[in-house]
């Protein structure tokens, strides 16, 4: 098993980072999604600076997470570095790279029970040949006020 294959110590989310609610926070009844913040260190600098490679890696990460990729935008900076944002039906994946430091900052947020954002983290860690990583994950809770509420897109007059 590779180092990244065990990236998340507990994919069942037991013992995931828990934050206490402030007195002003609305009460929550269920989980709306899972959020992973991933720091990748000692990555392959050439891959961190390769926009086409990162587009493929992000696409693969979204698929492995069980998410639906709606749109993918990337930008290559001069002299180096890439930012990518994948719009998912379930939320998003973002990556910001610093090839000169071998570092990438990744954010993966997915809604629904069918997605596994930690799988996207594994893909990106492996694809970028990360020598070291830090992963923080937590649940996003649904406020009572929106439980059962239906959302409809706003119609715009032509």
Cα–Cα distance measured from residue 133 to residue 105, given in angstroms and rounded to the nearest whole number: 10
Catalytic residue list contains 114: no
- pLDDT number for residue 95: 98
Which pTM was predicted?
Answer: 0.74
Q: Per the residue annotation, which of 35, 43, 45, 91 is the catalytic one? A: 91
What φ, ψ does residue 45 adopt, rounded to 5°? -60, -35
22 in catalytic set: no
Show me where the domains of the chain are located.
31-142
Note the pLDDT of residue 42.
98
Looking at the domain that runs over 31-142, which CATH code has it been given? 3.60.90.10
**Beta bridge partners of residue 96, listed in sequence order:** 83, 105
Identify whether 91 is a catalytic site residue. Answer: yes
Per the residue annotation, which of 111, 121, 125, 137 is the catalytic one? 111
The label of the residue with tokens 């989310």 reads 13
pLDDT tens over the chain, length 158 residues: 344 444 443 344 444 444 444 445 444 457 788 999 999 999 999 999 999 999 999 999 999 999 999 999 999 999 999 999 999 999 999 999 999 999 999 999 998 888 999 999 999 999 999 999 999 998 887 776 666 666 565 676 66
Identified catalytic residue from 76, 92, 94, 96: 96
Cα 18 from Cα 111, distance rounded (Å):
18
């Amino acid at each position: 098993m590779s180092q990244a294959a065990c990236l998340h110590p507990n994919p069942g989310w037991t013992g995931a980072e828990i934050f206490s609610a402030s007195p002003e926070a609305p009460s929550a009844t269920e989980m709306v999604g899972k959020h992973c913040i991933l720091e990748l260190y000692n990555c392959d600098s050439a891959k961190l600076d390769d926009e086409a490679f990162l587009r493929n890696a992000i696409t693969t990460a979204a698929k492995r997470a069980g998410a639906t990729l709606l749109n993918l935008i990337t930008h290559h900076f001069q002299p180096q570095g890439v930012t990518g944002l994948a719009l998912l039906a379930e939320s998003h994946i973002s990556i910001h790279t610093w090839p000169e430091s071998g570092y990438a900052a990744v954010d993966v947020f997915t809604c629904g029970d069918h997605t596994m954002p930690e799988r996207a983290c594994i893909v990106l860690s492996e694809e970028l040949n990360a020598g070291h990583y830090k992963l923080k994950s937590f649940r996003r809770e649904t406020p009572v006020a929106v439980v059962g509420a239906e959302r409809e897109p706003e119609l715009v007059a032509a």
